[in-house]
Structure 1
Amino acid sequence: MILEIDIILSFLWAFMISVFGIPSIVRVAHVKNLLDEPNFRTVHASLTPRLGGLAIFAGFMSAITIFGDVSDSIQRVLAGCIVLFFIGLKDDIVSISVFKKFFVQILATGIIMFIGDVRITSFQGFMGIYELEAGISYGITFLVVVGITNAINLIDGLDGLAGTIITIISVVFGYYFYKSDSVNFHPYAKLAVCLVGGIIGFLRYNMHKAIIFMGDTGSLVCGFLVAVLSIQFIEMHSVESSPSVAVATLVVPVFDTARVFAIRILSGRSPFSPDKNHIHHILMRMGLTQLQTVITLGFVNVISVLVTVYFASVGDNILLMMLVLFFVLSSVTLEMIDRKHRVAQPIQQPQE
């Protein structure tokens, strides 16, 4: 009963801090001219603050420190969040190089891996692999944390999209942490709920038409937290917390990032070169509005989780092969549809 009360209070506190903090942030951003200018990659047409991560961070951090169980591993996670928060804040105010952001991501990842011992230690039988050697464990964990952090950052290109996907992911992982028989994972249920509260408070002002964006302050911190939740979810070592369920829960950011990176590399460009070839860009070129695009991708994410959980007994090998096949076929289909639209008509953004 105490856990349930803490979860409810955590959500309410994070939500209230976020939802009441954003109007002040918006006013100050406009007064100080801390606004994001539209460019060839953005879909918004007006100057908009991109400091929503301040409110998300304030709501999340205050809620977790008041109502959460700040154990050693949680402390290290929060330390990593603080490091990413400041580099993200600097980038939202004065743009910084990709190298500097990547270096800080390495630092934050090192904190949770080597000091907090947050890492993937087993594949649970996927491809016949169970326990991982320490070096392989650290290497895979590094790729997962940095990859997911940047994947969340990359899908933050549409009103409400990143916030909606982060909410879905956090709710799924948080639910399984809450239902876990091991009390060691209950602190992560509270962490997930605190993140959801801060995000939903932010979404109040970020759904189309948004008056504030998440910015790197929010996307880096949220992506980092989602990565940690994903790792701890796999470390529960149950049928429901298999690697295939984790991948299905992360389907939208993982699929989108893998797809755009592959296309850029095959085109002879840097995988980090900006463009308008993300899934949400394609769906909008097909005629969907921003809100319809967000709902569509959110629906795909939820269905992916439900289907994978339902067939979890089939085993990770088959499920992950099915997910990869789904990635490939969907990518090819989207590319073909998008090419037809590009040829048939000039690119236009749908009006609402």
Structure 2
Amino acid sequence: MSHFDIPLGLSWMWALLVSLFAVPSIIYIAHLKNMLDTPNGRTVHQSLTPRLGGVAVFAGFMSALTIFAPLQNGVKELLAGCIILFFVGLKDDLVGMSVAKKFVGQLLATGIVMIMADVRITSFQGIFGVGTLPVGVSYAFTLGVIVGITNAINLIDGLDGLAGTIVLIICGTFGYYFYQYGGPYFSNYAYVALCLIGGLLGFLRYNFHRAPIFMGDTGSLVCGFIVSVLAIQFIEMGLHVGQPFGAAAPSVAVGILFVPLFDTLRVFSLRMLAGRSPFSPDKNHIHHRILAMGFQQISTVLLLGLLNVLVILFVIRFAHLGNTILIAALAGFSALLSIFFGVYQSRISRRQLLATESGR
């Protein structure tokens, strides 16, 4: 055991315990002050439920990271961005906030890590024949990546335990590779991943169906932001360290993030094809479609978690094939999944129509 392992283990345990013991108090206060989420046509839950579970995750993550982790190489700026998004999410969970105002908060958090810490994607590493990016293009693309991933995690937070489970899988994968191959510049991001895992595990103890508390935007925005920075640093680690996947790091990162990216791109495409805003809410997310097949909530969460793990194993196993083949394979698989869900949804709609007509 190295000197690095002891504080790493302590940071994970600290985050877990803080989150675990904070959740019951948050549930009590939320009910006492009537800070509860009301069910509506878009939600799956049917009872008044607190949405402030992200407070516990944030408390565990932030306290563990500031106590145990080295804060250089962009981690300090990451914490600053997390604080901004925590308060953005908290206000949205308590009184509501417009999409535009939330976007401004995300821009501010992203600007801090990009400009102050120079956390950005500097090269496509051969994708579409593109190597090093011009500085302006690098900043613009990184902005899109961070905001996109942040919102992708936010959008899958629709079932008890779903967002937390997916983020656990993603952080566990990134954290392992930062620990093994990070070296002096990237290894402290193993702390970031492990501290978030600890905070999430304490929260998930109370978040599986029927959950007495939800993560809320307080947690999902922070988790999405952290995951986006981990993904960028993972890609840059492949470029600068050459390990573990070298130039294939971008496509491997896409595979690690498969479920939230696939779900977001799918629902945005369907909404725009229907002539609606991509941000207009509906019940067409991948978890809604699986529930419509007759699966229970816990089964749906486990199924999507398994799907993400299988895709991760696939991209890791075939990383040697390079970015072009891996991205083509992921795109093809995404298209097949979309067709499957579309065909199944059409059959359900046809059965409902026939049942309505036969009942007349």
Task: Provide TM-score, normalisation by structure 2.
Answer: 0.95
Find the counterpart in structure 1 of residue 324 from structure 2: 317
1:288 to 285, 295, 303: 295
Matched, 1:90 2:95: no
Matched, 1:240 2:241: no
Distance 1:166 1:223 in 2: 8
| Gap regions ≥5 residues in structure 1 | 347-352
CA displacement at 1:339 relative to structure 2: 1.7
Matched, 1:135 2:157: no
2:349 to 339, 342, 352: 342
Matched, 1:262 2:239: no
Distance 1:45 1:290 in 2: 13
Find the counterpart in structure 1 of residue 54 from structure 2: 53
CA displacement at 1:240 relative to structure 2: 2.3
Distance 1:6 1:142 in 2: 32
Distance 1:148 1:167 in 2: 15
Find the counterpart in structure 2 of residue 117 from structure 1: 118
Matched, 1:272 2:279: yes
Matched, 1:205 2:206: yes
Distance 1:57 1:199 in 2: 9
1:303 to 282, 303, 310: 310
AA matched with 1:186: S
Deviations 1:213-246 (A, max 9, x none): 0000000000000000000000012352611110
CA displacement at 1:104 relative to structure 2: 0.6
Find the counterpart in structure 2 of residue 126 from structure 1: 127
AA matched with 1:285: A
AA matched with 1:281: H
Deviations 1:84-139 (A, max 9, x none): 10111011100011110001100110110011110001112222222111011101
Distance 1:181 1:226 in 2: 16
AA matched with 1:117: D
2:245 partner SS: coil
Aligned residues: 346
CA displacement at 1:327 relative to structure 2: 1.1
CA displacement at 1:332 relative to structure 2: 1.5
AA matched with 1:245: V
Root-mean-square deviation (CA), in Å?
A: 1.0
Matched, 1:144 2:145: yes
CA displacement at 1:72 relative to structure 2: 5.0
1:236 partner SS: helix
| Closer/same/farther in 2, CA of residues 27 and 251 from structure 1, 3 Å limit | same
Farther-moved stretch of structure 1 (219-228 vs 127-136): 127-136
For 1:48-87, what aligned pairs fall within 5 Å after superposition? 48-71=49-72, 73-87=74-88
Deviations 1:276-312 (A, max 9, x none): 0000000000000000000000000000010111011
Given that residues 182 and 237 in structure 2 are in contact (C-alpha distance below 8 angstroms), is that contact kept between their aligned partners in structure 1? Answer: no
2:204 partner SS: helix
| Closer/same/farther in 2, CA of residues 72 and 234 from structure 1, 3 Å limit | closer
CA displacement at 1:344 relative to structure 2: 1.5
Find the counterpart in structure 1 of residue 333 from structure 2: 326
| Closer/same/farther in 2, CA of residues 72 and 232 from structure 1, 3 Å limit | closer
Find the counterpart in structure 1 of residue 357 from structure 2: none
Moved over 2 A (4+): 238-241
CA displacement at 1:345 relative to structure 2: 3.5
Distance 2:250 2:182 in 1: 19
| Closer/same/farther in 2, CA of residues 225 and 181 from structure 1, 3 Å limit | closer
Distance 1:88 1:328 in 2: 33
| Gap regions ≥5 residues in structure 2 | 354-360
Deviations 1:54-91 (A, max 9, x none): 00000000000011111151111100000110111011
Find the counterpart in structure 2 of residue 193 from structure 1: 194
| Closer/same/farther in 2, CA of residues 181 and 290 from structure 1, 3 Å limit | closer
AA matched with 2:163: A
Distance 1:333 1:181 in 2: 39
